[in-house]
Amino acid sequence: MKLYAYWRSGTSFRVRAALALKGITVDVVPVHLVRGGGEQKQPAYRAVNPQGRVPSLALDDGAVLTQSPAIIEYLEEVHPEPPLLPADPVLRAKVRAVAAIIGCDVHPLHNSGTLAALKGQFGADEAAIQAWLTKWMTDGFTAVEALIGDEGFAFGPEPTVADVYIVPQVYTARRFNVPIENFPRILRVEALAAAHPAFQAAHPSSQPDAEQVTKATARS
């Protein structure tokens, strides 16, 4: 399998974490979202993913899966061990709800396309962008903090899909200088993930295309 991804993309981080937790090895194909105006916009990558987004997972039979929630659900169905969703249907729904808060309500409001539109089409300056990022991430984290547990990962001793979403979002919050010190449960999850081999392997700094980033390019 091949994973088309960008090293610090939160959605790519999610899928890398799910793959690593399940012990699945893939070949990583870097797709640089900034260089040359964005490799994801080029015909070669559009032939892989018509939406021009990362990640994309190319299976051994040639099928290509897109959108991180669909990819993670596929991995859970085809490689059920270790499980990333609880067996109990109520708890499973709660795990999915936390993932959806981040995947549906937070992440789309700070991805590269949204920030480019805020700047280019609506004339938002750096202060306005920072206020935007802080509001939506803080709102999302406030909800997540209230929904996850007091011990272990988000919903117990082992990582679930909720953690696969939370940890990359925390990474993004730190990258964008969004304060998170008021979320002790989330910080606990971050600390546990930092010591977990799967999250270490999936972390942006561990990727083959990882770069040194200056403040001037930090929002790209």
With contact defined as beta carbons under 8 Å apart, do 36 and 27 qualify?
Answer: no
Between 1.10.620.20, 3.90.1150.10, 3.40.50.2300, 1.20.1050.10, what CATH number should domain 89-202 receive?
Answer: 1.20.1050.10
The number of CA neighbours under 13 Å toward the Cβ of 57 is 24
* Rounded Cα gap, residues 77 and 95, in angstroms: 16
| Residue 213: predicted pLDDT | 52
CA atoms within 13 A on the CB side of 30: 13
Question: Tokens 């999915």 identify what position?
Answer: 96
- Residue 56 burial (10 A CB sphere; 0-12, 13-18, 19+): buried
Closest CA to 12 of 54, 45, 63: 54
User: Contact, 166 vs 103, CB < 8 A?
Assistant: no
Tell whether the model's pLDDT for residue 214 goes beyond 70: no
User: Across-strand partners of 205?
Assistant: none
Residue 218 has pLDDT above 60, yes or no: no
Q: Is the pLDDT of residue 98 over 70?
A: yes
CATH architecture of 2-82: 3-Layer(aba) Sandwich (3.40)
Q: How far apart are CA 164 and CA 45, in angstroms?
A: 25
CA 168 to CA 100: how far, in whole Å? 14
Residue ranges, CATH 3.40.30.10, the chain: 2-82
DSSP 152: B
Residue 216 binned pLDDT confidence (cut-offs 50, 70, 90): very low
**Which residues are within 8 A (CB) of 30 and not within 5 positions of it... i.e. 6 or more apart?**
5, 6, 7, 207, 208, 209
Residue range(s) occupied by CATH 1.20.1050.10 in the chain = 89-202
Q: What is the pTM of this model?
A: 0.93
**Percentage of residues in the chain having pLDDT higher than 70:** 96
Query: How many residues does the structure list for the chain?
Result: 220
Q: What is the pLDDT of residues 155-179, one digit of tens each?
A: 999 999 999 999 999 999 999 999 9
Cα of 18 vs its chain's centroid, Å = 10
* Beta-strand pair 2-5/56-58: antiparallel
φ, ψ dihedrals at 210, nearest 5°: -60, 145
Q: What would the pLDDT profile of 20-72 be if each residue is shown by its tens digit? A: 999 999 999 999 888 888 889 899 999 999 999 999 999 999 999 999 999 99
